[in-house]
Amino acid sequence: MNTNQIQVIAPYRYNDTWVFDDENVGLFREPFVVGIPEILEAAMKAEGIAGSKLLLHFSGAQFPGYKKKLTWIREEFGGNWYKDEAGREGWLCPALFKYFDEAPAEIYADFRLANPVRGTTK
């Protein structure tokens, strides 16, 4: 498990879903599934962000500038269900435990385009 307070991954679109790689914890094309892509895309839309590669900072604690908060609901099939502020639910698979010892009660996230065009603010 990574012990940093704030983690960073770079989700990207692959085969019509959001995935990410993290060689530090042995993940390659790890997909976001069951509601998480919809939560991510709704958050991007609300922020006016469109793209196919992001930088996503996340933590089990609040940090300055976070844009999204997910609240734990329940455990199922080794993963954990979370909901966003709008009530959308999504399941985070057991890869969550590559970053946390236990499922956090809340996950806070900030995201932006991974390689924005010069002159843009997002």
Please give the pLDDT value at position 115. 74
Whole-prediction pTM: 0.86
* More confident position, 30 or 51: 30
CB 21 within 8 A of CB 29: yes
Helix (H, G, I), strand (E, B) or coil at 97: helix
Instruction: Supply the CATH number for residue 92's domain.
Output: 2.40.50
Q: What is the pLDDT of residues 4-44, one digit of tens each?
A: 689 999 999 999 999 999 999 999 999 999 999 999 999 88
* 35 within some domain: yes
Tally of domains within the chain: 1
Residue 1 lies in a domain: no
Does residue 114 contact residue 57 with C-beta atoms inside 8 Å?
A: no
pLDDT 10s digits, 73-122: 999 999 999 999 999 999 999 999 999 999 999 999 998 888 755 544 44
Range of the domain at 28: 7-113
